[in-house]
Structure 1
Amino acid sequence: MLFSVRGRATVITVVASALILLLVLLLLMLLARDWAENQVARKAERTAERIAFDIATETGTDTGRGDLTVGPDDAPMVQVLSPEGKVVAAGEAMRGRPALAADRLADRQLLIDRRGCPDFLDDCVWMFGLRLRASPWGPGVMVIAASPLPSLLNVWLLPLVLVLLLAALLTLIAWWTWHTIGSAFVPVDLIRAEMADLDARGLDHRVPVPQTGGEIQALAETVNATLERLEEASDRERRFISDASHDLRNPIAGLQARMEVALDEPAGYDWKPMVRSALRDAQRLNDIVLDLLELSRLDTRTPQPEEPVDLAALVRREVGRRAGGAPIRTRLEPGVVVQANPVRLGRVLGNLLSNAERHAESRIEVTVARDGGDAVMEVLDDGSGIPEESRERVFERFARLSESEVRDPQGTGLGLPIAREIAEIYGGSLRIADSPRGARFVLRLPLTPDAGSR
Structure 2
Amino acid sequence: MRLEQCSIRGRIALFTGVAVGALCIVFSTLLLFAFDRTATQNLTKEVTAVGELTAYYVDRGELVNPLPPIPTNLIRPVQVVDPHGQVVAATKDLQHKPAMAHFVPKSPQRVASAVVCHSVFTSGGCHIVVAQRVYRDGDWTIYSAAPALPFYVYPGVTTILITGTIIFTIAVAYGARHTVTRSLRPVDAIRAQLDHIRSNNLGNRVPVPVAEDEIFRLARSVNQTLDRLEDVLEQQRRFCSDASHELRTPITAIRAQVEDALLAPEDVDLTKLCNAVLPSVERLQSIASDLLMLTRLDAGVPYERQVIDLTELVAKELKNHQLGRKVVQCLTPDVMVLGDRSRLGQLVRNLVQNAQRYASSTVTVTLRRGDGATLADPRFLRGVAELEVLDDGIGIAADQRETVFQRFTRLDTARSRDTGGIGLGLPIARQIAESHGGTLTIQDSERGARFVVRLPLHI
**TM-score, normalised relative to structure 2:** 0.76
Q: Which runs of 5+ in 2 are unaligned?
A: 371-381
Within a 5 Å distance, the mapping from 1:164-183 to structure 2 comes to 164-183=163-182
Residue 246 of structure 2: aligned partner: 247
Q: Which amino acid aligns with 1:353?
A: V
* Aligned counterpart, 2:365: 366
C-alpha distance 121-322 of structure 1, shift in aligned 2 (>3 A) = closer
Residue 36 of structure 2 contacts residue 153 of structure 2 at CA under 8 Å; is this kept in 1?
A: no
Residues 385 and 457 in structure 2, CA contact (< 8 A), matched pair in contact too = yes
Alignment check: 8 A CA contact 1:352 1:416 kept = yes
Q: Residue 408 of structure 1 aligns with which residue?
A: 416
Structure 1 residues 265-274 or 177-186, which shifts more? 265-274
SS at match of 1:367: strand
C-alpha contact (below 8 Å) 2:436/2:455 kept by paired residues: yes
Aligned pair 1:435/2:410, yes or no? no
Aligned residue in 2 for 1:4: 6
d(CA) in 1 for partners of 2:263 and 2:101? Answer: 140
How many Å apart are 1:37 and its aligned residue? Answer: 0.8
Instruction: Name the SS of the counterpart of 2:198 in structure 1.
Output: helix
Establish whether residue 350 from structure 1 lines up as the match of residue 357 from structure 2.
no
Which residue in 1 is equivalent to 2:282?
A: 283
Q: Give the match for residue 455 of structure 2.
A: 445
Any idea what SS the aligned residue of 1:154 has?
A: coil
Q: CA deviation at 1:239?
A: 0.6
User: Contact conserved, 1:123 with 1:148, CA < 8 A, in 2?
Assistant: yes
Residue 98 in structure 1 maps to residue 98 in structure 2? no
Change (3 A) 1:118 1:36: farther
Q: Which residue of 2 aligns with 1:75?
A: 74
Aligned-partner Cα distance in 1 for 2:236–2:320: 34
Cα distance in 2 for partners of 1:53, 1:164 equals 48
Contact 2:100–2:120 (CA under 8 A) maintained in structure 1: no
Equivalent residue runs for 1:385-396 within 5 Å: 385-396=395-406
Amino acid at match of 1:392: E
Q: Partners in 2 of 1:139 and 1:271 — Cα distance?
A: 144
Give 1:38 shift: 0.1
Cα distance in 2 for partners of 1:222, 1:337 equals 41
AA in 1 matched with 2:95: P
**C-alpha root-mean-square deviation of aligned residues, in Å?**
4.3
> Would the alpha carbon gap of residues 107 and 367 (structure 1) be closer, same or farther in structure 2, given more than 3 Å must change?
closer
Taking structure 1 as reference, are residues 250 and 212 closer, same or farther at Cα in structure 2, changes over 3 Å only?
A: same
| Preserved CA contact (<8 Å) 2:125 2:147 | yes
What amino acid maps onto 2:6 in structure 1? S
> Which of 6, 27, 32 is the equivalent residue of 1:29?
32
Aligned length in residues: 435
Distance (whole Å) between structure 1 residues aligned to residue 212 and residue 277 of structure 2: 63
Tell me which residue corresponds to 2:408.
Answer: 398
Scaled by the length of structure 1, what TM-score is found?
Answer: 0.77
Q: CA deviation at 1:80?
A: 8.0
- Residue 377 of structure 1 corresponds to 387
- Give the 3 Å change call, closer, same or farther, for CA 407–99 of structure 1 in structure 2: farther
**Paired AA for residue 248 in structure 2:** R
Verify the 8 A CA contact 1:112 1:129 in the aligned structure 2.
yes
Contact 1:291 1:414 in 2 (8 A): yes
Could you tell me the percent identity over the aligned residues?
Answer: 33
1:123–1:151 CA contact under 8 A, matched in 2: no
**Contact 2:395–2:449 (8 Å) recurs in 1:** yes
Asked if the contact 1:82–1:140 (Cα under 8 Å) also holds between the matched residues in 2, the reply is no
SS of residue matched to 2:452? strand
Rate the CA distance shift 1:54–1:374 in 2: closer, same or farther, 3 A.
same
